[in-house]
Structures are given as structure tokens and as C-alpha cells.
A = this chain, B = another copy of it.
Amino acid sequence: MRIDTKTALLNSAERAARARGFDGFSYADLAEDVGIRKASIHHHFPTKAALSVALMQRYAAEIKEALAALDATHPSGCARLAALIDHYRAALNGGKTLCLCVSFSTSRDSLPADVITEIRSFRQMVIGWLTRTFELGQSDGTIAGVTMPDKEAAATLPLLEGAQLTARAQENLDLFENGVQLLRQRLANPS
């Protein structure tokens, strides 16, 4: 099944951005990857800034769906949290890529204001989800030691992102696991 060029470009750009950051890839990289001329990309994305907006919006929509799916398929707080940890681990692609939000954050000065706003919304959304998850884990007793779910959430997202960074720098998933080990140990019995 052939996908449309615009989607192929978004996929290619996302891989590149998550591996090398916004300043680390160019339209020439995408052109080669997708198999069209560099100038043709402008038909779909007139500027690199526009591309970054599209990337971030798509990424946020996708994780929104993913979080909803986690809610639907995991009944307990601990199971949900474990699933999110695994989601962040999987986003590493064996240590080759980061979450888009993370990779964009260090080159935020190169990004349009819209994307900075989207990044903020993205993090707020995930922290909101984490807050509810810690609340659930507190009430169903499957996450140990939760006294302030909102503060747990506010600490957990930077932990996941920082652990991604470490693992990405060394291309080593064990380093992600080292970072989240204590958190995993608080989970009753994720299933």
C-alpha cells in the first residue's frame, strides 16, 4: 500500500527530527528519503517552520489517542503507568530516537512560536493524564506511596524525558531503565 507523499514526508521528518533534532536535518535529507526533489517538498510544506507545526500537531494527536487507548485497555493505575513508561521506552527505538517534544526542546529557538505553544500543551496533556493515573493508582492501591498525585505527575514526565535523553545519548536502553527503576518498583503488579 502506497501512502501519500505528504504523509511520507511527515514520517521521514519525524524520524529525522526525533533522531537529530530540528536543526539536525534538512529538506535534502527528506527528499532523499522519500524520493522526490527537494524543491517539491515546498509544495506540501512551504517552509520548514510549517513542517515543524504539522509534525508537532500530528505527534500530539497521536499520543492523545495512545493515552486514551491505555485508559481503555488498562484498568488499574499501575498498569496504566507501566504502559506509559513502556511507551516512552518504545519511543526510543532502541536508543535511536527521542520523543518529538524532547528533541524539539533543545532547538526551541529555531522553532515558530506555535510549536512552542504546542509543546507546552503536549506536556500539560501528558501531565494531566499522569495526574489522573496517579489518582487512580492511589485509590485502587496499585501505585505505592502516592500522596499528591499532581506533584507525582509533575515529576514523572521530566523523569521519563530525562531518562530518554540519557538513553539516546548513549544509544542504550538500559540507561532508560536505570532512570525509571524506582518508579517501576512502586507499581503493584502491572498487567
Interface residues of A (CB under 8 A from B): 19-21, 23-24, 98, 101-110, 116, 119-120, 123, 145, 148, 151-152, 154-155, 157-163, 165-166, 168-170, 178-183, 185
Contacts and interface: CB of A to CB of B under 8 A. Distances in A.
B182 A119 contact: no
B23 A109 contact: no
B166 A155 contact: no
A77 to B, nearest CB: 17
Contacts of A110: 20, 24
B158 A182 contact: no
Given A109-B19, A110-B20, A165 B162 contact: yes
Contacts of A179: 154-155, 157-158
A180 B162 contact: no
Contacts of A21: 21, 23-24, 106-107
Pick from A102, A106, A155, A168 the residue with the most CB of B within 10 Å.
A106
A145 B182 CA distance: 12
Contact of A158 (B106, B163, B185): B163
Contacts of A109: 19-20, 24
Contacts of A106: 20-21, 24, 98, 102-103, 105-107, 165, 168
Most B CB contacts (10 A, CB to CB) among A103, A104, A119, A170 go to A170
